[in-house]
Amino acid sequence: MSYSVTTFLVSLDKLRTVCGSGDTKLAQEIISQHEESLMGTDQMGEYFDDFEEEIEEEYEAYKKGDFSHKHAIVSSQGDTNDEEFDDVTEEEHAEFLEALKSGNEEKALEFMQKAMGGLFDEDDDDEEEDGEEEELEEEDLQRELTTGGALADLILGRPKDYAFGFKYGYALEAICDKLGKHLPGDAWCSINFRARNMIAKLAPADFDKSLWIDGLLGRGAPVEMPTPSDFPGIGFLTWQEAEKLRPVAEQVYSACEDTPDTDWELEALEVFLKWLDKAISKKEDLVFFYY
């Protein structure tokens, strides 16, 4: 199984200043520029087709600088109700996320089997019941927060919906693309767990693991926002931290050179070193999106 990492060179000070600034012009520019990708995320919603026309109208308003639309809040900060995982403890949920990040597919599968236990055990006869529940009435359909709306929440400092952390994640990616520079890295566009795990294991035992590959990709967003429950994973690194990290990355690269069958790892580390060099030379920071 392979995943991708997208990396941006961007000033964290600038990013944090923009978020909550109320800059409607900037929000308008970013949504206009990234409308296709933002709406692409929305299209994964269960009821997108039912609200497609309204969603398109919402985006048209944003592109004109009209941010008067107010979305419903499904889950506020601090809410702990999670119908999807009623039988799973918070500790088990955290273990599941860690299993995803570390590539422990067996552990992740165990979690999913427990979380979804009984989902498919109901009698098929339910499907043949009277048509009362075959179609939801329109008033029962739930229009989700749009990714454009999430982006507006971040920049305008509006109340956020913690049920849709992933939409804020993709919105933050669009903001980073606008404020910073996307750094190329073909080796990270499809990196498998074997390569990532080997890179992670080669770090010195006494080094702060929060600043190495696994820690960085799971570090969280550099701004206050709802945390995605799965993807995108978000991480960041200041340029000062990059200075401390570079000799370690160089050491791991040398260790890989002495290890058989590590072509993929060497290519990934070579790109990673270039990212660090760029951050150090420009005195700007790095933000990572992992999916």
CA triple 136-140-146, angle to 5 deg: 110
Looking up tokens 């088990």 gives 92
The DSSP code sequence of 66-134 is --------SS-TT----GGGTTS-HHHHHHHHHHHHHT-HHHHHHHHHHHTTTTT-S-GGGGGS-TTTT
At 150 the pLDDT is 98
Give the number of other CB atoms < 10 A from CB of residue 81.
7
Q: What is the CA radius of gyration of the chain?
A: 21
Residue-by-residue pLDDT tens, the chain, 291 positions: 568 999 999 999 999 999 999 999 999 999 999 999 999 999 999 899 999 999 999 999 999 999 999 998 988 876 644 444 445 555 666 566 666 555 566 666 676 666 655 444 445 555 555 555 555 455 567 889 999 999 999 999 999 999 999 999 999 999 999 999 999 998 888 877 777 777 877 788 888 888 888 788 889 999 999 999 888 999 999 999 999 999 999 999 998 888 788 888 899 999 999 999 999 999 999 999 998
The residue extents of the domains of the chain are 2-74+145-290, 79-124
Give the angle subtended at the CA of 73 by the CAs of 71 and 78, to the nearest 5°.
Answer: 150
d(CA 153, CA 134): 35
The C-alpha atoms of residue 89 and residue 93 are separated, in whole angstroms, by 6
- Tell the burial category of 149 from Cβ atoms under 10 Å away from its Cβ (0-12, 13-18, 19+): buried
Query: Are the C-beta atoms of residues 155 and 23 closer than 8 Å to each other?
Result: yes
Letter for the amino acid at 221? A
Residue-level pLDDT at 259: 79
pLDDT at 79: 63
3-state secondary structure (DSSP) of residue 262: coil
